[in-house]
A and B are shown apart, each in its own frame.
Chain A
Amino acid sequence: EVQLVESGGGLVQPGGSLRLSCAASGFTFSGYWMNWVRQAPGKGLEWVANIQRDGSAKYYVDSVKGRFTISRDNAKNSLFLQMNSLRPEDTAVYYCVAPTYWGQGTLVTVSS
């Protein structure tokens, strides 16, 4: 059974940092591009970033470029999202997404 379990969300002040993690199991993690997707309260889905199978290529939505960094550890079947210089508009549920599987999400709230 495929499982994606996100962790690391929480309340952070504007300008602060958080590191999200996603533990993957039930599939060959190293064989797939991985994605982070977010959903602000009451809003639609927004693709945030993705990373190539071996980590050699990474892409970001314009609004997070220079602030967020996606990474992966294939030996530990784990995906990460380092989020710096957080803004209130980054408040959202963040989902870890294998090409066709979704985690349950972790809530990030940026507020003073």
Chain B
Amino acid sequence: QAVVTQEPSLTVSPGGTVTLTCGSSTGAVTSGHYPFWFQQKPGQAPRTLIYDTTNKHSWTPARFSGSLLGGKAALTLSGAQPEDEAEYYCLLSYSGPRVFGGGTKLTVL
């Protein structure tokens, strides 16, 4: 099965902008992988931020956005807040099976 790669950790300053990426061992990530992005805070279940590359959930703060960038899926956070410190996971679809990335621990500091 495919391997999905994410940055293990990133740091962003409060109010700053950061981009998390999600790559695939099979080649470029496309809209056909229907990229999802999830946020998980310690002790909580994950929640969906972005689905199908760019779509936001009703609870997704406007400062989060999804895109395709340089052959990868990307999650951009513009105007980071302290409450955005969390683990972020991407998920890609491979025509049936799904694969998660290893997660990115985002620190707001």
A residues touching B (Cβ–Cβ < 8 Å)? Answer: 35, 37, 44-47, 50, 57, 59-62, 95, 99-105
Contact = CB atoms under 8 A, between A and B. Distances in A.
A101 to B, nearest CB: 7
Contacts of A57: 96
Contacts of B87: 44
Interface stretch (B9-17, B22-30, B66-74, B97-105): B97-105
Contacts of B96: 50, 57, 59
Interface size class of B (residues with CB under 8 A): 20 to 34
Contact of B100 (A44, A59, A62, A99): A44
Interface of B: 1, 36, 38, 40, 45-48, 51, 57, 87, 89, 91, 96-103
Contacts of B36: 100
A26 B46 CA distance: 19
Nearest to A103: B45
B46 A46 contact: no
A47 B99 contact: yes
A105 B45 contact: yes
Contacts of B101: 44
B1 A35 contact: no
Contact of B103 (A35, A44, A102): A44
B102 to A, nearest CB: 5
A37 B103 CA distance: 14
B46 to A, nearest CB: 6
A100 B48 contact: yes
Contacts of A104: 45
Q: Which of B45, B47, B96, B99: most chain A CB closer than 10 A?
A: B45
